[in-house]
Structure 1
Amino acid sequence: MFDRENGWLPKVVREGEGLRLEFAGGADALHDPRTFSLPIEEKHLAVLRADLARHLIVWSALTPLSFAAGIDEALDDGAAVALLDPILLGRPDEVDAFLQHTRLERAQLVAYGADVELLESGRVVEAMTAATERPDWQRAQEYDVDRRRAQRGTTLSPLDAAILRFTGQYVHGSTIPHRDPEAVDPELLPEVVQVIDTAERASAGLRIERDARRGRTGTDKQDWKRMKAAVEAAVRGAYPDLAADAVRTVSFLMCSEAAHRARTQPFDVDAAEHEPMTQRRERTLTFTDDKEVEEKWDPGDERHAVEAFWDFVAERIGSRNEVFTLEDEALGEGIQLLFYASSLARIASVSDEGGDTGTKYRVEYALIDDLAHYRAMVRGFVAGGFDALDGLALWMADPTEFEEARRRRLHG
């Protein structure tokens, strides 16, 4: 009998001798919209046909009832029918008074053009004067986000909002930020660019490295934290009035871009760019993990031995696979990286002056500070073997002494 161009708005159908208002709302178990209907009268149809604002308002009041029905419960017909006369037939002031005690899907009204200031003041009918049949759901999402910010006491200035729009994080703060100058009011864009320039200068001397302990795409959390702190300190210092949300999104942008650059680089940039292939190039090296998977690195391999080892770690790392060994079997030397304990062991076979035939080993343990420390250890062993690690850590030969030191650090 009646259906607007936008097929989502409730439509009126004739069923036998009566009329029913049919609308979609909520979702079923398969996440598809559910369809509900309720009986209406000719007088209701006349208003729906003539007044888009009231059509949208009654739908906004019916939507919470459809959500309450869940995936398979029936609509509360009594509550739904009780909405019709007050919303469709009342004077504007009577409708507004009724809606003060009625749940509304307000974001839905905003999507269809509601004036937010009038809506928030309770003048719902007047707020829908400029309603349209075509929704703008981005506007509705921003309305929802603004309400949540207001609930936690956050108010955005025009510059704050412009920065969030520039990074694409006005609505979804957890998405990967990007640069979108076209999303910003041209009058505010120069100020936004100045803020970004401040952040870029603060992060210019920092970088985020790849972290094989977190897989092929993982990056170093400590590097991220250092860059975040540096950027936020610089931005807050230069723009003390910026909201925390704006400062956070700028640091997130800088860190995300640095992490993206890192994923196109080697796992150990220093080894790849600055460390020559020295004494160990003529030696075959063996990589193993805690699952006894083994891989050989041979002289002439296109990859640096350090990069090949970290590539092996990134491929094999897992919650139950956190011990990796790098060995020079010909010399009887190796290092064992104990990621779960932030530590490392270096091992060397030793000659037996007592004449026993069994192989004996010299084993020493060290606590590892961070990823950079692990990288230095791997580089040192590849370049110079067991003895090259002497100055890179405090070594302990007694396992009990080492375990006590590890626990002291763990528990502060």
Structure 2
Amino acid sequence: MRDVVFTRQGWFPAVVRCENGLCIELAAGADANHDPRVFRFPVDEVRAAVIEADLRRHLLLWSAVLPLCGDAGSQGDLDVEAAVALLDPTLLGTPDEVDALFRGIRWDWRLLMAHGGDIDLLDDGKVWAALSEATVTPDRRRVEEYEVNRRRAQRGVTLAPLDTAILRFTGQYVHGATLPKRLPDEVDPELLPDVLRVIATAERATTGMRIGLDPRHGRGVTDKAAWERVATVAEEAVRAAHPELADDAVATVRFLMCSEVRDRSKNLPEEDDAEGVGDRAGGPGGVRTARLTFTDDKEVAQPWAPGDSRTAGAAFWEFVASRSAPDNEVFTIEDEQLGEGLQLHFYADSVARITTVTRGEGASEPEYRVEYTLVDGLDGFRTRVRAFVDGGCAALDPHGPWTADLAELERARTRRREANS
């Protein structure tokens, strides 16, 4: 049997009538299934009447009991004796007695702050005075902002009003890991023009940039190098025009620009579609007339023919995105008519161009010339794919240096690694 005698709203502890009389009932913590645990401990009519009449004392009791619920964990029992011992000093004590009690026990300051507790008075342990304007409805955001500002203070960060306004504009004042937005209503109207000027600085700097996908890692994976390029351009522009801004404000503008450039890029055609690539038969920028075959390291092949709905480059990168995996990082484009191919080694940041020297007749094997060069990231791979699709192996000449000596390739790799370190 359970009848609710009094409750306020939400998660407030309720006074209920159980089989053994009146009890205080509250939900706190979670069990092994992540469902809220419900705790009860006895109360009499006099103290129940105080809970109903006095919001301040109701909140103080709740704040004092919550740590006991936490001690019970997911399966333990509430220390009923300790909970009952809190009733008299919290519900019947003088303001001084209440403050004295809270100086000697654990209590949930977040709860009191959320329900309107004065932050400075709570910090001083003056809980009674702190709740003079207590509210039934909690303001969780107030607690979140307090905690994030405390963490900023620990990092030695001090935000000026414009810094704060920029963070509120992007919705990252509290949660820096959330995707930034544009929330002008969150900003003081007097500061909004200054915020928009900062945003405009970053927008002008990143106009025309794009952040596409990185097909080397499958579908839907953002190109990290392109993201970093946009971030760097945005940050440099903002710091040059607004050197007074704190790092947190600059970082949120940088994040906003990258997110928006990435979203715009989703609606643009595959990068290679816009290049007007051709081949030696059609001429640079013309229409490719030769067929191509794409293959991966698992010997899966996909043909491409002139007149297909996508350009050769776009179709190849779609093939890569659909087939790429940690154990499948070698892809080839072959022009059988010309006897040429381009092989991409994603795991090694290198490519090989393959040219048929003799095609082989009868029992004789064909002879190939294989030359290698290192590649710098996805853009390097894209550049060479575009050149090969446009003009075959000859068009790759400027994108070297090329070597047939694998030992020399490894020496070049070592030199690059040392230079980067």
Normalising by structure 2, we get a TM-score of 0.90
- From the superposition, tell whether residues 206 and 353 of structure 1 become closer, same or farther in structure 2 (CA, over 3 Å): closer
State whether structure 2 residue 369 is matched by structure 1 residue 362.
yes
SS of the aligned residue for 2:194 comes to helix
State whether structure 2 residue 386 is matched by structure 1 residue 379.
yes
Give the partner amino acid of 2:334. Answer: E
State whether structure 2 residue 305 is matched by structure 1 residue 302.
no
Aligned to 1:230: 233
State whether structure 2 residue 363 is matched by structure 1 residue 347.
no
Contact 1:107 1:143 in 2 (8 A): no
Aligned to 2:278: 277
Q: Among 251, 254, 269, which residue is 2:254 paired with?
A: 251
Shift of 1:207: 3.3
- From the superposition, tell whether residues 361 and 75 of structure 1 become closer, same or farther in structure 2 (CA, over 3 Å): farther
Contact 1:286 1:328 in 2 (8 A): yes
After superposition, residues 52-91 of structure 1 pair within 5 angstroms as: 52-91=55-94
Shift of 1:404: 3.3
Is 106-115 or 18-27 further displaced after alignment? Answer: 106-115
SS of the aligned residue for 1:187 comes to coil
After superposition, residues 102-121 of structure 1 pair within 5 angstroms as: 102-121=105-124
After superposition, residues 33-48 of structure 1 pair within 5 angstroms as: 33-48=36-51
Shift of 1:160: 1.9
Contact 1:12 1:20 in 2 (8 A): yes
Whole-angstrom distance in 1 between the partners of 2:241 and 2:85: 57
- From the superposition, tell whether residues 400 and 112 of structure 1 become closer, same or farther in structure 2 (CA, over 3 Å): same
Normalising by structure 1, we get a TM-score of 0.92
Shift of 1:171: 1.9
Aligned length: 410
Whole-angstrom distance in 2 between the partners of 1:100 and 1:157: 35
Shift of 1:17: 4.5
> Could you list the runs of 4 or more consecutive aligned residues of structure 1 that deviate by over 4 angstroms after TM superposition?
352-356
Contact 2:162 2:191 in 1 (8 A): yes
After superposition, residues 110-259 of structure 1 pair within 5 angstroms as: 110-204=113-207, 206-259=209-262
- From the superposition, tell whether residues 17 and 379 of structure 1 become closer, same or farther in structure 2 (CA, over 3 Å): closer
Shift of 1:217: 2.5
Shift of 1:378: 0.3
Is 30-39 or 352-361 further displaced after alignment? Answer: 352-361
Whole-angstrom distance in 2 between the partners of 1:159 and 1:99: 38
Shift of 1:141: 2.6
Whole-angstrom distance in 1 between the partners of 2:196 and 2:104: 46
SS of the aligned residue for 2:30 comes to coil
- From the superposition, tell whether residues 4 and 14 of structure 1 become closer, same or farther in structure 2 (CA, over 3 Å): closer
Gaps of 5+ in 2: 282-287
- From the superposition, tell whether residues 356 and 15 of structure 1 become closer, same or farther in structure 2 (CA, over 3 Å): closer
Q: Deviations over 1:160-188 (max 9, x none)?
A: 22211111112221111111111212222
- From the superposition, tell whether residues 293 and 89 of structure 1 become closer, same or farther in structure 2 (CA, over 3 Å): farther
Is 144-153 or 342-351 further displaced after alignment? Answer: 144-153
Whole-angstrom distance in 1 between the partners of 2:78 and 2:100: 25
Contact 2:360 2:367 in 1 (8 A): no
Aligned to 1:326: 333
Contact 1:27 1:34 in 2 (8 A): yes
Contact 1:336 1:344 in 2 (8 A): yes
Whole-angstrom distance in 1 between the partners of 2:244 and 2:92: 49
Whole-angstrom distance in 2 between the partners of 1:77 and 1:342: 66
State whether structure 2 residue 399 is matched by structure 1 residue 392.
yes
Contact 1:306 1:382 in 2 (8 A): yes
